[in-house]
Structure 1
Amino acid sequence: MSTVFTTRPEIVGTNGVAASTHWLASQTAMGVLERGGNAFDAAVAGGFVLQVVEPHLNGPGGEVPILLWSERLQRMQSICGQGAAPTEATAGAFRALGLEQVPGIGLLPATVPGAFGAWMAMLREHGTWSLAEVLAPAIAYARDGFPLLPRTVQAIYSVQDLFRTYWKTSADVWLPGDRVPRPGALFCLRQLAATYERIVAKAHSEAGGSRTGEIDAAIRCWYQGFVAQEIDHFYRTEKIRDTTGESHTGLLRYDDLAQWTPTIESPLTVEFGRYTLAKCGFWSQGPALLEQIGMLRQAHLDRYAVDSAQFVHYVAEAAKLAMADRLAWYGNAPGASSEVQLALLSDDYLRSRWQQITATAATDLRPGSPLGRTPKMPDLDVARRTLLTADTRFGIGEPTFATLPPVSEWLEREVFVGDTCHLDVIDQQGNMVSATPSGGWLSSSPVIPSLGFSLTTRLQMTWLDEGLPNTVSPGVPPCTTLSPSLALRDGEPYMVFGTPGGDQQDQWSTAFFLRHAVHGMNLQEAIDAPAWHVDHFPASFWPRKTTLNQITIESRFAPAQIEALRAMGHQVKVGEPWSEGRMSACSRERVGKDKLVLRAAANPRGMQGYAVGR
C-alpha cells in the first residue's frame, strides 16, 4: 500500500469517471454518464461548459484536438479540430504590412475556429445524445450565471485598458458597468447563450427529428450559416488594435469557414515496455512526447527516484532534443515531408538521439537529421527585432498577464498562469476521450458582438520564413501546442491524460507518464509529485523569444537535488511549490471478463481541477 501523501484520493469507480481543469466541467461530464450518455456525449457536454467557465483559457471560437478509443470500432482515432489559416494568410501578405511575425493578439492571427466542428464530428459519429442535450449545461451556465474564477478576473483586470480604449465590444461583455467583476461573482454570457440557443433551434427545425441531421444542420449553421456570416462581416469591416501598435482588419473570410472540415485519422504511436503511447499527428507538438519516450527507453529510469536530479536531468535533456526537432520538422506546410517526420519516430533515430544525451546539460539548440536531411531553422532573432517596435502593454500572444498591484490582494492569491483546458472521460463500456480545448481567449481578440465570443489567435504559432514545415500557408493549420494523450497497456486501451501549458504540455505529460509507468505511482501520486519544465527553444507564442538551458523546478524538490542539477550545468529557476502543470488523467483496467475498474485524478495546482467518478 502506498504511503505517499496526496492532496486528494485517486478516484475509483465502475460506472464512469471524468477529470478536467474545472470542477463544473468534470461534474457535467459525470452527470451525462449518470443519465445514460456515453463518454463521447459526456466529453462534448463538458467541453462546451469549459468554454463558459474558463473563458480566459478557451472559448467557442477556439480549437480542440481530440484522441479517443471507441469500443464499438475497437480502435483509436485522432480528430484535428485545429482550424486552418485563411486563404489570404500568406507570408507575403504579412510582410506587406511591414511585419516579420504574425501578431499575438487582434484579428490578423485568426484561423478557422475548429472546436465546434471537432466536437460535433465526435458527437455525430460516436455519441448518442442530441445536440440540445449536450449543449444544455453550457447554455444554462452562460444564461443563468457561473462563478468567476480569480484567474479569469485577473485576465480581465490586466487587459481592462485595452478593452476600454480599443476593444469596446469586449468591454461591453467583460466590464459590466465599466467595472472589473469580483472573483466568485456569478457572471452571465447571455449573448453566447443566445447564439447556442439559435443554433439548437435552427438545427431542430431543419433536421426533421433526426439526431445526426440536427448535428449536420448545426455544423452548417456554424461554418456556412449565420455564425460564419457574422465572423466574415466583423473581420472584413472592423479595424482592431493589435501588438503592432496599429489597427488592422482581419484575413478570415466566409469561404475559409465554409470549406473547412475537421480531419479524422489514426494517431501516431511509440512503444514503451508494456505501453503504447498515442498522440496526434505532426500538425501538433504531440510527437514530441513520443520522441522523448522513445529516447528514454534507453535511460533505465527505474534506477532513479522521481524527485532526484538524475531523473529530472535525463527527462529534461530528452525534452530539449524533441523540442528542437519540433522546431525544425513539425508542421503541414508545403515545406514539410511526411517521410522525414515519420523517421523521427523510428527506433534507429531515437536511439541515435539518446546517444547525444550526456551527463551535462545541453546549452545549444540541436535539431536532428532524420534520413540524413539537414534541418532548416527559422530566423530566431526576429523576436528581438519585433520587440523594438511592438506594443506589449496588454500582454503577449499567450494569455499571460502583467503582475497585479499590491492593493489587489483578492487577486494575488491565484498565482497560476494558464493558457488552455483539458478534459478526460471514460464510461462503463470502456469508451475513452482525451481533449485539450484552447483558443478564443477573452484577452487575445475582441468579442464579435452579434455572437458573444472571440476567435482564436493560433496563427501566431507560424513563421514567415519561407520553406519551413510551419511557415504560414493558406488552408494549412498552424502546428499547435495542444496535445492530448492516450495509452494502451498490453495492447488494451488503458489511459487518457493531458494538461494545459503551451510548450510545457508534452513535458509535464511525459514526466507524469514515467512516474506512473516506470515507478508505479498511482494517478494522483504521479500528478502531485514535484514537477518542472525546461525552456530551450523559441516560445510558440508571440513574440517567439528564444530561451536556452533554463529549467524551472518546484521548490518542493530537495535543496541537494536542485544544487545537483546546477552542478550538471542546468540554469535552475526555483518556482513556487505547486506551480508546474495542470495534469488530469483517467484509466481503465479489466477485471475478469466483463468488469472494468475505472480510475481518475486531477491536479490540485490552481485549485480548480477536479476528478469525479462512481
Structure 2
Amino acid sequence: MVASTHWLASATGMGVLERGGNAFDAAVAAGFVLQVAEPHLNGPGGEVPILLWSEADQKVSTVCGQGVAPAAATIERFTELGLDIVPGTGLLAATVPGAFGGWMLMLERWGTWSLADVLAPAIHYAEHGVPVLERVSATIEAVRELFTEDWPTSAATWLPGGNVPDAGSKFANPVLAATYRRVVAEAEAASSTREGQLAAARKAWYEGFVAEAIAEFCARTAWRDSSGEAHGGLLTGDDLARWSASVEEPLALDYHGHTVYKTGPWGQGPVFLQQLALLRGFDLDAMGYLSADYVHTVTEAAKLAFADREAWYGDTDVPISDLLGEGYNAERRTLVGPEASLELRPGAPGGRPPRLPDFPEPGTTSDAPGISGARRAPQGVGEPTVARDGRVKGDTCHLDVVDRHGNMVSATPSGGWLQSSPTIPELGFCLGTRAQMFWLQEGLAASLRPGTRPRTTLSPSFALRDGQPWLAFGTPGGDQQDQWSLNFFLAVVHGRLNLQEAIDAPMFHSEHFPSSFFPRGSRPGVLHAEDRIDAGVLAELRRRGHEVETQDPWSLGRLSAVARDGAFLKAAANPRGAQGYAVGR
C-alpha cells in the first residue's frame, strides 16, 4: 500500500513495490517524485523527517533529514543586518538542504534498489513534464511579479516564455533532471556497488558540484526577501560538507492500548504525545466523538501542549521526560476548565521556569504569509498566500508506505518551495527557508545557534496497536500537523472510524498559539472548524468562549495513512483538493 498527497507519487511507490522493491525503496522513489509534482510544497532544497518500522530490526527508527543553520548564522550577524526576525523568504533563511541526505540514508540502510532506479521516475517527470496542479499555477501567478522584478532565475524556470503555466498543462524542469542525471552519473563512475554509489551521490551533493553551486549562489548574489531588503546567503560549502543525516531513537507514549511514536523535540512531534498524555486523563468515549465536550477538551489540551512547545522545544537539552510524565500532566489537566482559555500557559516541568520568546502582538494580520497567523481562507489544501510586500508561504507533502514484508514508512518532506527562494540556475531548484523558525533572541530553546536544527513543524507519525506495528500516518499543514493528525488518530481510537472515514470526518484546529512561520502571529481563542460539524456543537463552543470561524466543508486536513490490520494491509488518502491518492494490491 502507498498513500500520499499526490497521485503520481503514490503510483510511483506502488510501481516500485510491484517490481520487487521494499517500502523503503518505494518511499524514496515517491519522495523524489513529490519534488517534481508538488514543487510549491517541497523541493530538493528542503528537508524530510521520517519514521519507519523495519521488520528486520523489529523497531521504530527516526531518520532525521533536517539540515542545520550555517556556521555564520548567528544572532549577532542578523542584528548587524538590522533584523530582529529571520525573513520568511530568500537566502538568509536557508539551512543545509537535508532531504537528499535523509532519503539516501534510509535507502542505504534499509532499501535494496540502486540510486539510478529510485531516481529514474523523478528524472523522467522532470525531463518530460507533469500536469500542472491548479495550486501550482495559482502559486506561480501569485509570485509572477516577484519573479520578474526581483528573482529572474526563478522567472526563467517557472515562467516559460514569460507566461504562467496553465493548470492542467504539462510542465518540465529539464535543469533539475540534468542535476539528478549528473548525480547518478558521478555515482556510477565512482563505484560499481550500490553502497559505494550512494556514498558517492551524497558526496556529489554535499561536497561536489551541488554544494559548489549552492555556495557560489549564496556568496555572489543578493535577492530581495520578506524584510524588503536584498540579502545574500550564509550557507557555505563547509556547512554542507560537515552535515549528514542521522538515525535516532524516536519518542513514544502509550495511549489506550496503542504506542505512538514521534521525532524528538528538535521538531514539534512530541506535542502530539503531550496532547495524548493530557487526554488520557479524560473520558473522551463518554463525551461522544465530535460533541461539544469532546472538541472543547481536545482543543484546550492542544493549547497547553503547544504552549510547552513554544517554551521548551528546540535542538537543545529539553526536559522531555518531565513533559511526558504523568505527574506533570495530571497537574496540567486541572487547567482545562469549562471555558475556552485565552492565555498562552506553558508549564514548569521539574520546577524549571518557562521562557517564552517576545512574540509579536496577538491579533489579526490579514495579509500575513505564514501557514499560521490570520487565516480567514481554509488552509487545508495548500493554496498560496502572498502579502502585498511579496512575502509568500508554502506548505508540505506527506507519504506512507507498507510492503508485503510488513516494513512501514511515514515521511513528511517539505521546504525548498518554488516560491520561497530564488532558483539556483545551474541546479533547477531553490534553497529552503526553515531558519525562519529560529528566534533571534538569546536564551531560548529555539534560539538561532550555528549548527543546530530549527524547531521544525514537520511531523510524521507511527503507532503500534497491542504491541504490533499498525499505523503510519501524517499530513501537511505546518502548525496544524499535530492537531489534524491527532484528530485523525482519535477518530480511529475513540470514534471507531476506519482509516478513510477518519480522514473524511469533519476537521477542526486551534489558531490560539503563535505560528512557527514568519511573521509569527497568533489569534488567541480562535477555533477553525469545518461547517460540517453540527451547528449545535458550534453554538455551544461559542457559548464556552471559543471564537469559532467556520471553514468550507472539505477544507481542513490533508491526511494519508497506511496500516497493517490483521491479515490485511489498508490505506486511505485525503479527498480534499482531489489530489491525494491511496493505492495497493
With the shorter chain as reference, the TM-score category is over 0.9
Establish whether residue 201 from structure 1 lines up as the match of residue 185 from structure 2.
yes
Distance 2:287 2:308 in 1: 26
3-state SS of 2:566 partner: strand
Q: Residue in 1 aligned with 2:328?
A: 349
Establish whether residue 568 from structure 1 lines up as the match of residue 547 from structure 2.
no
Matched-pair contact (CA < 8 Å) for 1:56–1:441: yes
Distance 2:313 2:64 in 1: 15
Match of 2:559 among 554, 559, 583: 583
Residue 554 of structure 1 and its aligned partner are, at CA, apart by 0.3
Distance 1:379 1:402 in 2: 22
Q: Residue in 2 aligned with 1:377?
A: 356
Match of 2:298 among 295, 315, 325: 315
Residue 75 of structure 1 and its aligned partner are, at CA, apart by 0.8
3-state SS of 1:508 partner: helix
Give the partner amino acid of 1:396.
Answer: P
Matched-pair contact (CA < 8 Å) for 1:399–1:419: no
Q: Residue in 1 aligned with 2:340?
A: 361
3-state SS of 1:537 partner: coil
Match of 1:53 among 22, 25, 37: 37
Matched-pair contact (CA < 8 Å) for 2:48–2:411: yes
3-state SS of 2:458 partner: coil
Distance 2:539 2:376 in 1: 29
3-state SS of 1:110 partner: coil
Matched-pair contact (CA < 8 Å) for 1:105–1:457: yes
Establish whether residue 25 from structure 1 lines up as the match of residue 5 from structure 2.
no
401 and 124 in structure 1: CA distance in 2 versus 1, 3 angstrom threshold: farther
Residue 381 of structure 1 and its aligned partner are, at CA, apart by 3.0
Match of 2:265 among 276, 282, 299: 282
Establish whether residue 537 from structure 1 lines up as the match of residue 516 from structure 2.
no
Residue 337 of structure 1 and its aligned partner are, at CA, apart by 2.7
Q: Residue in 2 aligned with 1:77?
A: 61
Matched-pair contact (CA < 8 Å) for 2:42–2:415: yes
Distance 2:33 2:561 in 1: 19
3-state SS of 2:523 partner: strand
Match of 2:449 among 473, 484, 502: 473
Cα-to-partner distance string for 1:358-397 (whole Å, 9 max, x where unaligned):
111111000011001110111113799xx9xxxx99x735
Distance 2:375 2:174 in 1: 29
398 and 220 in structure 1: CA distance in 2 versus 1, 3 angstrom threshold: farther
Map 1:194-273 onto structure 2 (within 5 A): 194-207=178-191, 209-273=192-256
Residue 472 of structure 1 and its aligned partner are, at CA, apart by 0.6
The structure 1 segments of at least 4 consecutive aligned residues displaced by more than 4 Å after TM superposition are: 397-404, 414-418
Cα-to-partner distance string for 1:310-330 (whole Å, 9 max, x where unaligned):
111111111101100000000
Percent of aligned pairs sharing the same letter: 55
Residue 508 of structure 1 and its aligned partner are, at CA, apart by 0.3
233 and 415 in structure 1: CA distance in 2 versus 1, 3 angstrom threshold: closer
Distance 1:176 1:309 in 2: 51
Matched-pair contact (CA < 8 Å) for 2:5–2:560: yes
Establish whether residue 612 from structure 1 lines up as the match of residue 583 from structure 2.
yes
Cα-to-partner distance string for 1:197-227 (whole Å, 9 max, x where unaligned):
00001000001x2001111100000001000
Give the partner amino acid of 2:400.
Answer: D
Unmatched 5+ residue regions in structure 1? 1-16, 405-413, 592-596
Distance 2:529 2:183 in 1: 46
Residue 590 of structure 1 and its aligned partner are, at CA, apart by 3.3
Cα-to-partner distance string for 1:274-315 (whole Å, 9 max, x where unaligned):
100000000110000000011111111112332321111111
Residue 607 of structure 1 and its aligned partner are, at CA, apart by 1.0
Matched-pair contact (CA < 8 Å) for 2:362–2:523: no
3-state SS of 1:57 partner: coil
Residue 563 of structure 1 and its aligned partner are, at CA, apart by 0.3
Q: Residue in 2 aligned with 1:408?
A: none
3-state SS of 2:430 partner: coil
Cα-to-partner distance string for 1:429-457 (whole Å, 9 max, x where unaligned):
00000000000000110100000001110
Residue 416 of structure 1 and its aligned partner are, at CA, apart by 4.5
398 and 441 in structure 1: CA distance in 2 versus 1, 3 angstrom threshold: farther
Q: Residue in 2 aligned with 1:603?
A: 574
Matched-pair contact (CA < 8 Å) for 2:133–2:167: yes
Distance 1:304 1:18 in 2: 34
Cα-to-partner distance string for 1:248-281 (whole Å, 9 max, x where unaligned):
1111111000000112111000000210000000
3-state SS of 1:233 partner: helix
Distance 2:28 2:187 in 1: 17
Residue 341 of structure 1 and its aligned partner are, at CA, apart by 2.5
Establish whether residue 156 from structure 1 lines up as the match of residue 165 from structure 2.
no
Moved more, 115-124 or 557-566: 557-566
3-state SS of 1:569 partner: coil
Give the partner amino acid of 1:241.
Answer: R
Cα-to-partner distance string for 1:552-603 (whole Å, 9 max, x where unaligned):
0001112111101001110110111111100000000233xxxxx1000001
Give the partner amino acid of 1:259.
Answer: R
Matched-pair contact (CA < 8 Å) for 1:105–1:396: no
Unmatched 5+ residue regions in structure 2? 385-393
Distance 1:71 1:62 in 2: 29
Q: Residue in 2 aligned with 1:552?
A: 528
Distance 1:220 1:401 in 2: 42
Match of 1:36 among 20, 23, 28: 20
Match of 1:430 among 399, 402, 406: 406
3-state SS of 1:76 partner: strand
3-state SS of 1:78 partner: strand
Matched-pair contact (CA < 8 Å) for 1:158–1:402: no
Distance 2:9 2:372 in 1: 21
Distance 2:175 2:360 in 1: 42
Map 1:90-239 onto structure 2 (within 5 A): 90-207=74-191, 209-239=192-222
Matched-pair contact (CA < 8 Å) for 1:553–1:574: yes
Give the partner amino acid of 1:478.
Answer: P
Residue 538 of structure 1 and its aligned partner are, at CA, apart by 1.2
Matched-pair contact (CA < 8 Å) for 1:18–1:612: yes
TM-score by length of 1: 0.91
168 and 400 in structure 1: CA distance in 2 versus 1, 3 angstrom threshold: farther
Matched-pair contact (CA < 8 Å) for 1:104–1:398: no
Q: Residue in 1 aligned with 2:389?
A: none
Query: What is the total number of aligned residue pairs between the two structures?
Result: 572
Q: Residue in 2 aligned with 1:502?
A: 478
Q: Residue in 1 aligned with 2:391?
A: none
Cα-to-partner distance string for 1:54-76 (whole Å, 9 max, x where unaligned):
00000011000000000011111
Q: Residue in 2 aligned with 1:396?
A: 369
197 and 159 in structure 1: CA distance in 2 versus 1, 3 angstrom threshold: same
Residue 29 of structure 1 and its aligned partner are, at CA, apart by 0.5
Q: Residue in 2 aligned with 1:294?
A: 277
Residue 402 of structure 1 and its aligned partner are, at CA, apart by 11
3-state SS of 1:601 partner: strand
Cα RMSD (Å) of the superposition?
Answer: 1.8
